[in-house]
């Protein structure tokens, strides 16, 4: 089996519908065909200031949600980044073969540092892509599912892998981006031309998986649409309706064209009611499962402990090779 690796940050109290339909849903299906590693990058999270208690809680909630969504710790390796010290150790070595100019060209850092101002910008945020390269290269995955915003970072990862391989000896697999076909992109319910996002969406435009389903249903019923009456998929002219169709399609596993036929001659209220129902039907049992995992912290931590141990077997191996090749004494 080929190996895939992916991570999601523990920086919110709940994942949102975009995270699920655009990424996590596919993580679940990838488990069938790949040797999958999934991790919660808490070390990346602290590149911006985090409340310690909150971070710990969010890390556990992130894990609980992944388990509740169907990540199976018996088939996949689910772990928390900071519990695998090899990530930090490899990041240091990689930072020593990364050009300062090369790192300075990362556009995400430029964007974020401009937004936050120099005083709130940390060296950690600057070296974030190097840590990300370490996250990936430790496990020698063939493919890494990445969104558009991480493409440049993956390119750096590939360059660092090739550079290390050439300068020392072939050590790393140069990973390919894994583009999952047909991943849904979900838009803000109040501004359906903008991506649904935890940091940019207004509360009314954002559907959190762990919110009270009644609240989410209400947000769907208040979603911005248009002044026509026809239910059809047309992103240009009808972004709100198109977004609702995509959401319903994904939640009910019904093609959008089938939905268009089903809703011919019916009103927007019907569509919204059905999206709301589908969402409540999905979120209600999910919430219950997450609560169950959160109620037994010992068990949750045990699952993560096993994941970290499995991850360390692979990561430790790679790191030992790296240390040897750069000329460190054996431990």
For the CB of residue 50, give the shortest distance to ligand ATP in the complex, in Å: 13
Q: Note whether 298 and 306 are within 8 A (CB).
A: no
> Residue count at the site for ligand ATP (CB under 6 A)?
15
Tell which one of 88, 114, 200, 295 touches ligand ATP (CB under 6 A): 200
198 as an active site residue: the answer is yes
Helix (H), strand (E) at residue 79: strand 77-80
Write down the least CB distance from residue 313 to ligand ATP, Å: 26
Single out the residue of 147, 255, 281, 285 in contact with ligand ATP (rule: CB under 6 A): 147
CB nearer to ligand ATP: give 81 or 95. 81
Q: Which is nearer to ligand ATP, 19 or 95 (CB)?
A: 19
Q: CB-side exposure of 20: number of CA atoms within 13 Å?
A: 24
Tell me which stretch binds ligand ATP (CB under 6 A): 82-90, 193-201, 263-271, 286-294: 193-201
Q: Which residues pair with 150 in a beta bridge?
A: none
197 part of the interface to ligand ATP, by CB under 6 A: yes
| Residue 19 in contact with ligand ATP, rule: CB under 6 A | yes
Query: Strand, helix or coil at 331?
Result: coil
Which residues is 40 bridged to in the sheet?
80
For residue 289, indicate whether it is catalytic: no
Residue 229 φ then ψ, to 5°? -125, -10
Dist. CA 90–CA 323, nearest whole Å: 9
Q: Is 181 a catalytic residue?
A: no
Q: Which is closer to ligand ATP, CB of 47 or CB of 95?
A: 47
Sign of the C-alpha dihedral, residues 99, 100, 101, 107? positive
Catalytic residue (choose from 1, 57, 110, 112)? 112
Among 4, 93, 125, 186, indicate the residue that binds ligand ATP (CB under 6 A). 186
Beta-bridge partner residues of 269? none
Nearest to 240 by CA among 230, 254, 252, 255: 230
Binding residues for ligand ATP, per CB under 6 A? 8-9, 18-19, 22-23, 147, 185-186, 195-200
């Amino acid at each position: 089996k080929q190996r895939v690796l992916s991570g999601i940050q523990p920086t919110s109290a709940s994942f949102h519908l975009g995270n699920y339909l655009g990424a996590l849903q596919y993580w679940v299906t990838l488990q069938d065909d790949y040797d999958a590693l999934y991790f919660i990058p808490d070390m990346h999270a602290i590149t911006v200031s985090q409340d310690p208690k909150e971070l710990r809680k969010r890390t556990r909630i992130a894990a609980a949600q992944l388990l509740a969504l169907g990540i199976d710790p018996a088939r996949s390796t689910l772990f928390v980044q900071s519990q695998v010290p090899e990530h930090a150790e490899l990041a240091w070595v990689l930072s020593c073969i990364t050009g300062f100019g090369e790192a300075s060209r990362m556009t995400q850092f430029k964007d974020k540092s401009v937004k936050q101002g120099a005083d709130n910008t940390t060296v950690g945020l600057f070296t974030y892509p190097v840590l990300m390269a370490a996250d990936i290269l430790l496990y020698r995955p063939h493919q890494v599912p990445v969104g558009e915003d991480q493409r440049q970072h993956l390119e750096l990862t590939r360059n660092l892998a090739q550079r290390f391989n050439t300068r020392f000896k072939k050590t790393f697999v140069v990973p390919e981006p894994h583009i999952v076909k047909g991943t849904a992109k979900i838009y803000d319910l109040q501004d359906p031309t903008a991506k649904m996002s935890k940091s940019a969406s207004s509360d009314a435009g954002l559907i959190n998986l762990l919110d009270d389903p009644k609240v989410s249903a209400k947000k769907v019923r208040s979603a911005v649409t248009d002044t026509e009456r026809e239910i059809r998929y047309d992103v240009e002219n009808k972004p709100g309706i198109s977004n609702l169709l995509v959401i319903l399609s994904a939640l009910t596993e019904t093609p959008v064209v089938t939905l268009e036929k089903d809703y011919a001659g019916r009103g927007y209220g019907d569509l919204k009611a059905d999206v709301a129902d589908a969402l409540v039907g999905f979120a209600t049992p999910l919430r219950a499962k997450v609560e169950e995992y959160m109620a037994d912290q010992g068990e949750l931590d045990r699952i993560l402990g096993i994941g970290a141990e499995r991850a360390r077997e692979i990561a430790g191996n790679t790191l030992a090779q790296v240390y040897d090749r750069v000329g460190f004494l054996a431990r």
